Chain A
């Protein structure tokens, strides 16, 4: 009996969900993930215990799959505390897009959020979507994103991450940014002028 290798092509898309403490990162992953999310939550200690009871210390992990798992979306959530930022450095290496979650109403976190975002933008060149949680105002979300250091070209999405349609919109926006980027790169590769120039260079 001969084993026949089936040519199944798997496509994996990875999203990094990062942002300051208690911004809504775990809520976003929970809203999307089809499987129970892998979390590393522990009881919050210190002054942060007044904000929420449990917090992520290493990472959250959620998945979403279609086509019998051939196309998978993996979502990685980082811890929000400054002392765990090294986790973001580890995880940001190989992702297709980054969702930066910030709570519009928690203004005391915005300074840390700005520092983290600027640090992030220096090191990566994948699309970044700024999800401005607890915000309905698109202009306000854009202003906040710019204030934190996002470029004008980075998409910003006002959202309410306790609502799953809103969380899906954020995720969709991130994937659309990836798609847009891929289509543009593909278009530039297949641009007739580029082809002529490439042929001329080869000749």
Chain B
């Protein structure tokens, strides 16, 4: 099994034209969006590695390793290289450099690599190339093609026409402000959805300006960034909310002045644009029966709310259905008295049987496996392994409880259909076996074996 070398001349349509300047070959590789390795027949030999036509590494075989060059250039220090590189045979894999050594200055490494590439490509472009061999899809062994560079979503493919402007697009007379000057109030909760009130705020501003003798024309004022003073919510605080049926433009500039909200009151502006100034006031007689129901419709349907007497609340957990929000004792402080809180705290002391039942249900839903259900059903609460398979459970529950005796854990990779591991291990060792055996003895040789295996795969 050898690498599939091809004559790049045929690959790029340059057959029979050599010797050619290096830049011609590089340009042909770019136009063909070549991915792989190019070996240039020039003295000294140069190897270029490309990804969709873009060179990510150029080097001569006589060059030191990339890691050593980065250390020499000062982009890395030796400790970072030692920590970030994975040594496989005689090569160092830098593909996970930034993940393994987070202290590495990513930009410095990228820029240094680019500068080294740049000097080599500049030299190569001027040379007369006698021939080129290509190995499509062969990556550099350092693995630096894994380094994430700038996102390529906006990149235009050569030859593609530029996107035509939309026919309905009007010419821009004046660019809209990039940032709007806004202030945030601690007592204000605001959705970032566009609201019809936002337009009305402009009307507020315009009408206020019209009343002022020094007001500028509304057409020019509309394109300006809104000042803090003209923010519509400030107007609402001072002048109150107009009725929805009213023409916003007909709202007089001077509305009845109301007192500014005290710090213990705040307004809620719902997505519909309605403003609930009295949210949280328990003494309001005509407030909605459902505090969770806004004026645009219910947003949090709690099925068990009806009929709850605020003076004697009885929380019936049996009435919650699957479509309701689970009861949260911290979420309904206004209607729960001290007795209810005490009963809620009492209910928190759930028994092990309840925990086991929940675990069974979750396992059944998660795996859909009858085998898993039967296995869990046959276990007592004391023997339940504190491991939920899969990536959703990465914590070590046994470690959380210092009183728990360390138990032999099932290999996490086992299928839900598997029975417990046999006590006699097979003669060969796998990762799952290694987890139950003495890791200190096995790991170094296994790691070394894996390194040799990767090296062997790469050499062929």
Q: Which of B137, B152, B439 contacts A139 (CB 8 A)?
A: B152
Segment from A46-54, A76-84, A104-112, A172-180 that makes contact with B = A172-180
**A71 close to B453 (CB less than 8 A):** yes
Q: Which residues of A contact B148 (CB under 8 A)?
A: 138
Quote the shortest CB–CB distance from A97 to chain B (angstroms): 9
Please, how many angstroms separate the alpha-carbon atoms of A172 and B93 in the complex?
A: 11
> Contacts A93-B418, A96-B430, A182-B446 given: A125-B454 contact, CB under 8 Å?
no
A122 touches B4 (CB 8 A): no
A180, B452: Cβ atoms closer than 8 Å: no
Smallest Cβ-Cβ distance to B402: which chain A residue: A201
Given contacts A122-B390, A125-B391, A126-B413, are A164 and B1 in contact (CB under 8 A)?
Answer: yes
Whether, in the assembled complex, A42 has its beta carbon less than 8 Å from a beta carbon of chain B, the answer is no
Tell me whether A89 and B417 are in contact in the complex, defined as CB-CB below 8 angstroms, given that A175-B450, A180-B100, A182-B443 are known contacts. Answer: yes
B137 touches A13 (CB 8 A): no
Q: Is B345 an interface residue (CB 8 A)?
A: no
Residue pair A163, B454 in contact (C-beta under 8 Å): no
Question: Which residue in B1, B88, B137 is a CB contact (below 8 Å) of A159?
Answer: B137
Which A residues from 75 to 128 make CB contacts under 8 A with B?
89-90, 92-96, 121-126
| Pair B440/A9 contact, Cβ less than 8 Å | no
- Give A168 Cβ to nearest chain B Cβ, in Å: 6
Q: Is the pair A137, B443 in contact by a Cβ cutoff of 8 Å?
A: no
In the bound assembly, the distance between CA atoms of A126 and B414 in angstroms comes to 10
Footprint of A on B, CB under 8 Å? 1, 3-4, 33, 35-36, 51-52, 86, 88, 93, 95-96, 100, 135-139, 143, 145-146, 148, 151-153, 366-367, 389-392, 394, 411-418, 427-432, 439-440, 443-447, 449-454, 456-458, 460
Show 11 A/B contacts (Cβ-Cβ < 8 Å), sorted by A: A11-B450, A14-B430, A64-B453, A71-B453, A89-B415, A124-B389, A125-B390, A138-B51, A138-B148, A160-B137, A165-B4
Q: Nearest 3 A-B pairs (CB), nearest first? A: A93-B415, A11-B449, A122-B390
- A residues adjacent to B (C-beta < 8 A): 9-14, 32, 34, 64, 66-67, 70-71, 73, 89-90, 92-96, 121-126, 136-139, 151, 155, 159-160, 163-166, 168-169, 171-172, 175-176, 178-180, 182-183, 185-186, 189
Extra inter-chain contacts (5) besides given A92-B415, A175-B450, CB under 8 Å: A13-B430, A34-B1, A138-B148, A180-B86, A182-B447
